[in-house]
Amino acid sequence: MKRLAFLFSGQGSQHEGMGLDFIEWSPVFRERYEIAQKVLGWPPAELSQPEKKSDLNITIYTQPCIYIVSCVIAEALIEANAAPHLTAGHSAGEFAALTAAGAWDFETGLRVIAERARLMHETSKPGAMAAVLGLAPEIVELVCEEWPEGVVRAANFNSPKQTVITGEPEAVQAVAPVLKEKGARRVLPLKVSGAFHSPLMKEAQQQFAEFLERIEIQDLRIPWISNNTAKAVVDAAGVREHIVKQFCEPVRWVDSMDVVQKECDLAVEVGPGEVLKGLVKACLPDFPCCSTDSVEGIKEALSRIFED
């Protein structure tokens, strides 16, 4: 069988209706949502309804909802004998990736990402993020490092032509014209509530580290590619270290895709939307990737996985 990379969607991939056809399709999915409601104290399935769209986009709800959908899709694939060779997740997607890799069970991972989302929502200082399109990542990084007024950093190295910056709102806004002068095609503000993956998340990071001390983490069954280093991690201590660092460190997705290309034959985006499928194509134009955003998407992915 093909060596599969399971790539787990992050914040921004959520959309109304996500996961609802899974609930109708399988009792396993319904059971997972019932468990999640007990853990979270609110009904995650309801947030996929059109009238709840604004709530779904609030960080404290977004991250757990994406986690749930991603985990149940991964379970369906594995149950169909399409197990991953390795996993990786984009930012918030790392937690479902760790569940699939064996770091913890579904409920534990849900509690972890719910706490992460709460801390990001409640303790982060005012911040902003923006996507820089059409400019080499190293130039974006250098401009941010040399910026003299306020905090601004490169946050997500998503593709050779897309880098997300993060920091204080004034600094992110002020650096945009400079990036355009350097050759950026566009600098697009993102709809986020904080400066994720920046030093401004330090307080949330410290509180998360304290919370994580009470969480048991297992050595992994398969490699997990860390956002921080784009290297494989399999030991529990390494997992603990990397997911704490993730609060303030950038997402090195381009480098992570280099590992996927070397180690795997096919990438499967596990979770809602097709954001990562687009990033895979931008990073590795000839590398195959399929999405699993719906029941039909899962069936099509399985067909592609097992084709000769």
Tell me: do 104 and 147 sit in the same domain: no
- Return d(Cα 10, Cα 92) in angstroms, integer: 5
Q: Could you tell me how far CA 69 lies from the centroid of its own chain? A: 13
Range of the domain at 284: 4-122+200-306
Q: Which residue has the tokens 């280099």?
A: 258
Closest by alpha carbon to 260, among 77, 140, 71, 90?
90
Q: What is the pLDDT of residue 28?
A: 84
Tell me: do 180 and 231 sit in the same domain: no
CATH of the domain at 290: 3.40.366.10
CATH of the domain at 177: 3.30.70.250
- Return d(Cα 196, Cα 101) in angstroms, integer: 25
Tell me: do 91 and 229 sit in the same domain: yes
- Return d(Cα 93, Cα 83) in angstroms, integer: 18
Tell me: do 176 and 229 sit in the same domain: no
Q: What is the pLDDT of residue 29?
A: 86
Tell me: do 74 and 152 sit in the same domain: no
Q: Which residue has the tokens 């923006």?
A: 130
Of 193, 223, 248, the one marking the end of a domain is 193
**Beta strand residue intervals within the chain, DSSP E:** 4-8, 86-89, 128-133, 152-159, 162-167, 186-189, 224-225, 232-233, 266-270, 289-291
- Return d(Cα 195, Cα 60) in angstroms, integer: 15
Q: What is the pLDDT of residue 34?
A: 94
Tell me: do 81 and 208 sit in the same domain: yes
Tell me: do 174 and 189 sit in the same domain: yes
Tell me: do 48 and 179 sit in the same domain: no
Q: What is the pLDDT of residue 137?
A: 97
Would residue 91 show up in a list of annotated catalytic residues for this protein?
A: yes
Closest by alpha carbon to 62, among 157, 184, 192?
192
Tell me: do 253 and 282 sit in the same domain: yes
Q: Which residue has the tokens 């795997």?
A: 264
Q: Could you tell me how far CA 117 lies from the centroid of its own chain? A: 12
| Per annotation, catalytic residue among 70, 124, 197, 256 | 197
Tell me: do 19 and 145 sit in the same domain: no
Q: Is 208 exposed, middle or buried (0-12, 13-18, 19+ CB in 10 A)?
A: buried
297 within 8 A of 77, measured Cβ to Cβ? no
Number of domains in the chain: 2
Tally the C-alpha atoms within 13 A of residue 200's C-alpha that lie toward its C-beta: 28
Q: Distance from first CA to last CA of the chain, Å, rounded?
A: 9
Q: What is the pLDDT of residue 124?
A: 67
- Return d(Cα 127, Cα 4) in angstroms, integer: 36
- Answering whether pTM is above 0.75, one says yes
- From first to last of the 308 residues of the chain, give the pLDDT tens digit: 799 999 999 998 999 999 988 888 888 888 999 999 999 999 999 999 988 878 998 999 999 999 999 999 999 999 999 999 999 999 999 999 999 999 999 999 999 999 999 999 887 678 999 999 999 999 999 999 999 999 999 999 999 999 999 999 999 999 999 999 999 999 999 988 789 999 999 999 999 999 999 999 999 999 999 999 999 999 999 999 999 999 999 999 999 999 999 999 999 999 999 999 999 999 999 999 999 999 999 999 999 999 87
Of 193, 212, 246, the one marking the end of a domain is 193
Of 146, 168, 193, the one marking the end of a domain is 193
CA distances from 237 to 188, 254, 272 (A): 37, 25, 29
- Return d(Cα 42, Cα 46) in angstroms, integer: 9
- Return d(Cα 116, Cα 293) in angstroms, integer: 24
Would residue 124 show up in a list of annotated catalytic residues for this protein?
A: no
Q: What is the pLDDT of residue 222?
A: 98
| Per annotation, catalytic residue among 9, 48, 91, 294 | 91
Tell me: do 48 and 145 sit in the same domain: no
- Name the helix (H) or strand (E) containing 73: helix 59-79
Torsion of CA 252, 254, 257, 261, to 10 degrees: -140
Tell me: do 109 and 144 sit in the same domain: no
Token readout for 134 is 């059409």
